[in-house]
Amino acid sequence: MTRVERAAFIDRRLAELYPETPIPLEHKDAFSLLVAVLLSAQSTDKGVNKVTPALFAVADTPGKMMHVPVEKIREIIRPCGLSPAKSRNISELSRLLVERHGGAVPRTFDELEALPGVGHKTASVVMAQAFGVPAFPVDTHIHRLAQRWGLTDGRKVEQTERDLKKLFPQEHWNALHLRIIFYGREHCTARGCDGTVCEICRTVFPGRRRAVRTKK
């Protein structure tokens, strides 16, 4: 298979396996999604979903959150890890949302990425899932799978994102990044598949015999 053929098969197969693409992070609006994605850094979606109900019970808008003591935010989100930095970022971004954006989450990449603790991947998730703007958030898992599937030679997630955007139709990006995550968690985990085990790996590289060493 060529790279384009591999991409077409993967796109089609993942759509068959995961016709529905629910967002794993529980949220009710753009602000709660933004905070949840920020909390998910070096944490699991399941872990984030355990702490956000308590956090949003205390404050569920930027205007309310900016007045919650950082120490209280930190105590609630402690199980997610990196709580000192995350609590400061949640407090500060809430203040900036009120002061600069009238309490609303901005709808541009530049404005989102100017907020504390919000990198390109976080901004991409919010743009895609809260506002429906085509984006292709790439985390380390998608980066690893894209290498296993021969969709990129990129050593960094930035290159992988560019490569994936070239290979897949723009109208598929928002659902496809979730489908890759779902498939990776279920079938192509770091320990469960080395590039030779799961259905997609075996299909796109049927002659592969050696494990794939992914580039971080």
Torsion from C-alpha of 85, 89, 90, 94, nearest 10 degrees: 160
Phi then psi for 86, rounded to 5 degrees? -65, -40
Quote the CA–CA distance of 178 and 60 in Å, as a whole number. Answer: 25
Query: For residue 175, how far is the Cα from the chain centroid?
Result: 12
Cα 59 off chain centre by: 24
- CA separation for the pair 28, 36 (Å, rounded): 11
Token pair for 97: 């949302």
Rounded Cα distance between 88 and 118, Å, is: 12
Nearest Cα residue to 125 out of 214, 25, 197, 205: 25
Measured between alpha carbons, how far is 145 from 182 in angstroms, rounded to an integer? 12
Comparing C-alpha atoms, which of 143, 140, 142 is closest to residue 179? 142
Q: Which residues are catalytic?
A: 121, 139
